[in-house]
Amino acid sequence: MKLDVFIQGELIDLCIPTEDFAAGSEWYNWFNNPKTTRFLEQGIFPNTSKDQVQFFQNQKGGKSRLILIISDKEDYIGTISLSFINHEKKTASIAMLIGEESKKAHFKNLFALESMARIVEHGITKLGLIRIDAGQHHKLFNWQQRLELLGFRAEAIKRNGFIKGIEKADSVGIALVVEDYLAIKERRGNFWDSAINMNERIKQLPKEAFIEKLRHVHNVEGNAYYNKIFSL
């Protein structure tokens, strides 16, 4: 089944999901893959096509969540969303899942990053958002660093922010504000100027991500500080 394109990109398109797609595609099954959901809250209970249809129906017509399906121009490979959209405060949270490995080889490492860039730009320029945030497992620091190329900054370490089964781990709070979006766009001309340029920027990223420095301050200096406080 073919979905209408809502946001056209260079390497990917973001498409409008339908009830037929929810019922007849692998959308539901992306959330059953343990590898895909390793760092997500999903995957604890099985997801079915009926569940996916119900989820789609519950969201249809609402103004607090924008859900789109990621296409690599040939196949549908994932989903991306802006959720908890607050039109008064102009804020939202962003989330993405890549459920299928693209059969394409050229720049496939950029499909997820461009998907984020396209929906971020839509959120700011069309919805008028001034802040977009997300929370991620601390082990995703390489991905978090790539998101810095889109203006996302690490803001907080949340102790035991990720709990799933017997695993408990820190999570990282990241966010993009409109001022950083505008600064990046002014320097580049376009927020996403080209896959070639973005690929070169990835190669030039520092070996140590800022989030690793923040974790050091939090876990080493922070623990030393609070041990003194708690001993008073």
pLDDT tens track for 10-66: 999 999 999 999 999 999 999 999 999 999 888 899 999 999 999 999 887 778 999
Task: Output the pLDDT for position 62.
Answer: 78
pLDDT band, very low/low/confident/very high, at 1 (cuts 50, 70, 90)? confident
DSSP 217: I
pLDDT band, very low/low/confident/very high, at 198 (cuts 50, 70, 90)? very high
Q: Are strands 91-98 and 131-137 parallel, antiparallel or unpaired?
A: parallel
Q: What is the pLDDT of residues 86-113, one digit of tens each?
A: 999 999 999 999 999 898 878 989 999 9
Name the H helices within the chain. 19-24, 49-59, 111-125, 141-147, 178-188, 195-203, 210-216, 222-230
Split into its structural domains, the chain has a count of 1
Domain that holds residue 64: 5-230
**Contact yes or no for 36/99 (Cβ under 8 A):** yes
What is the CA 185 to chain-centroid distance, rounded?
20
DSSP 133: E
pLDDT of 124 higher than 90: yes
Name the H helices within 1-148. 19-24, 49-59, 111-125, 141-147
Query: Distance of CA 3 to CAs 14, 35, 143, Å?
Result: 9, 26, 28
Written as six digits, the tokens of 4 are 């209408």
Task: Output the pLDDT for position 116.
Answer: 98
Average pLDDT taken over every residue of the chain: 94
Q: What is the pLDDT of residues 154-172, one digit of tens each?
A: 999 999 999 999 999 999 9
The residue among 56, 73, 83 whose CA lies nearest residue 15 is 73
CB within 8 A of 166, min separation 6: which ones?
Answer: none
Task: Output the pLDDT for position 104.
Answer: 86
**Contact yes or no for 48/82 (Cβ under 8 A):** no
pLDDT band, very low/low/confident/very high, at 76 (cuts 50, 70, 90)? very high
Which CATH number belongs to the domain containing residue 132 in this structure?
3.40.630.30
Task: Output the pLDDT for position 105.
Answer: 73
Instruction: State percent of the chain over pLDDT 90.
Output: 84
Instruction: State percent of the chain over pLDDT 70.
Output: 100
Task: Output the pLDDT for position 229.
Answer: 95
For residues 131-156, give the mean pLDDT.
94
Task: Output the pLDDT for position 178.
Answer: 98
Q: What is the pLDDT of residues 138-147, one digit of tens each?
A: 899 899 999 9
The residue among 97, 101, 107 whose CA lies nearest residue 202 is 107
